[in-house]
Amino acid sequence: MSSHCPQRNLRLTHLNWGAYHFCLALTPWAAPGEPSQDYRSELMDKKKLEGFKKRLETRQQDLRRTVSRTQADGRSADEDTAQDIADRAASSYTKEFLFSQSNNERQLLQMVEKALARIREGSFGECIHCGKEINAKRLEAVPWTRHCIECQEKLEQGLLEEAPR
* pTM of this prediction exceeds 0.75: no
- pLDDT on residue 88: 75
* pLDDT of 82 over the 70 cut: no
Model confidence pLDDT, tens digit, residues 33-62: 444 444 434 434 889 999 999 999 999 999
Alpha carbon distance 1, 14 (integer Å): 5
Q: Across residues 108-116, what is the average pLDDT?
A: 96
Q: Where do runs of H (alpha helix) occur along the chain? A: 37-79, 85-121, 136-141, 149-156
- pLDDT on residue 25: 41
Q: Across residues 10-22, what is the average pLDDT?
A: 47
